[in-house]
Amino acid sequence: MSYIIDGKAISKQIKDELKDEVSQLNCEGISICLAVVQVGNDPASSVYVRNKKRACEYIGIKSAAYELEESTTEEELVKLISELNSSDEIDGILVQLPLPKHIREDLIIQSIAPEKDVDGFHPVSVGNLCIGRSGFISCTPAGIIQLLKRSEIEITGKECVIIGRSNIVGKPMSILLLRENGTVTVTHSQTVDLKKVTSRADILIVAIGKPKFITADYVKDGAVVIDVGIHRDENNHLCGDVDFEDVEKKVSAITPVPGGVGPMTIAMLMENCVEAARKKSHR
């Protein structure tokens, strides 16, 4: 029997800590506002955006919603971000990804002021992370570190294998695990003999983007498995990149989908918003 890492409960714990912190800040006359920008109406993005606004409400952070037409131009979006950058009312800016094809994501990310980059995607934030300076950290990998720490899973000296090299998850995850003294391997679509590499992992982080791809034969006995994926299976049930039923029997701890990594991403976004407001109050 493996330990099921309860991301929902851990994220609730973090949100409750933040709620107290926000009410303390409110007493000091500091209120917090997150700008949430969505372009078009991709159904999955709409769900994420709704959950982020709900978390803001729970914690006591205001959210300012900007729901823009699919046909919005790059120039129009950059203009909005520039206004949000200079607004004293706004502490953090979140532009939900993916953006429509005609808008360059990297250009939009770069147009966000680094001090309001609560997603941690700006090159300044990424650079700070790489060289060990403080700054905003991409929410999903930051949430995974919290899941491990709050479940008392040791990272120091462990073989950590990440599947996936995205800018949002795989790459920042590798830096964070390195910072926690893990021995880190990043695998990707061109990796030769993936199974051989994943089978040596003490901690396996799976962000491959394929439903139930990772079966028991990819994991070592007693490993810790963190599943970043979220999909609908053939019965329209939510599932991850990991075949939970198959893998669960073999590992020491595993995150479920839903209720694992997903809620942690939002909790970390909230933490970044509180940090943005705190830093602003010290400027």
Q: Helix or strand or coil: residue 191?
A: coil
Nearer to ligand GUN, 5 or 94 (CB): 94
Query: Is 52 an annotated catalytic residue?
Result: yes
Confirm or reject binding of residue 153 to ligand GUN (CB under 6 A).
Answer: no
Confirm or reject binding of residue 111 to ligand GUN (CB under 6 A).
Answer: no
- 93, 113 contact by CB (below 8 A): yes
**Member of 68, 139, 155, 274 binding ligand GUN (CB under 6 A):** 139
Determine the straight-line distance between the first and last CA of the chain, rounded to whole angstroms: 51
Query: Which of the ranges 94-102, 122-130, 144-152, 245-253 carries the binding residues for ligand GUN, by CB under 6 A?
Result: 94-102
Shortest approach of ligand GUN to residue 3 CB, angstroms?
26
Token code pair at residue 32:
């917090």
Query: Which of the ranges 53-61, 90-98, 129-137, 172-180 carries the binding residues for ligand GUN, by CB under 6 A?
Result: 90-98
CA distance 216 to 77: 45
Confirm or reject binding of residue 230 to ligand GUN (CB under 6 A).
Answer: no
- 207, 177 contact by CB (below 8 A): no
Shortest approach of ligand GUN to residue 30 CB, angstroms?
24
**Member of 56, 93, 94, 273 binding ligand GUN (CB under 6 A):** 94
Confirm or reject binding of residue 11 to ligand GUN (CB under 6 A).
Answer: no
Query: Is 96 an annotated catalytic residue?
Result: yes
Shortest approach of ligand GUN to residue 1 CB, angstroms?
32
Q: Which of 6, 15, 96, 146 is catalytic?
A: 96
Nearer to ligand GUN, 119 or 202 (CB): 119
The secondary structure of 235-282 as a DSSP string is TS-EE-SB-HHHHHTT-SEE--SSSSHHHHHHHHHHHHHHHHHHHHHH
The secondary structure of 194-216 as a DSSP string is HHHHHTT-SEEEE---STT-B-G
Cα–Cα distance list, 209 to 144, 164, 202 (Å): 17, 8, 21
Q: Helix or strand or coil: residue 99?
A: coil
Nearer to ligand GUN, 172 or 182 (CB): 172
- Active-site residues: which are they? 52, 96, 119
Binding residues for ligand GUN, per CB under 6 A? 94-97, 119, 139-140, 168, 265
